[in-house]
Amino acid sequence: MKNLRRNSYRKKPSDSSQQTQKAEEDSSKLSSEVSGYAKYTNIIYLMLGAIAAAFAAGYFLDRIFGLSFPIFKLIFGFGGVILALYLMFKELNKK
């Protein structure tokens, strides 16, 4: 009777290998989710950086030339948006 109880408490080797496989699948799902978030976060920062850099360049050019109408801010601002969209599509098409 004691031997039967001891044997029933032992783990089967197949159970531990199944648990290991399940843990590996869960960790791979988690790492793929994290890499997905990292990819889209990177795209957001690229877009914000491109727009901010272009707008800042336009702002300083307007100040240097002393223009009353902010033509460089407008031109560089729109150029920054176009650059940001280009960078976004470029990053999204990467494999």
Q: Where in the chain are the domains?
A: 2-92
Report pTM. 0.64
pLDDT digits (tens, 9 = 90+) for 10-34: 555 555 666 666 666 666 666 777 7
Band of pLDDT at residue 71, cut at 50, 70 and 90: very high
Q: Which residue, 77, 73, 49, is CA-closest to 63? A: 73
Cα–Cα distance measured from residue 62 to residue 64, given in angstroms and rounded to the nearest whole number: 6
User: Once rounded to an integer, what is the mean pLDDT over residues 63-84?
Assistant: 94
Residue 42 in contact with residue 91, Cβ under 8 Å?
Answer: yes
What are the tokens at 66? Answer: 């002393």
Q: Is 66 left (phi over 0), alpha (psi -120 to 50) or beta?
A: left
- What pLDDT is recorded for position 35? 79
- pLDDT of residue 70 exceeding 90: yes
Band of pLDDT at residue 82, cut at 50, 70 and 90: very high
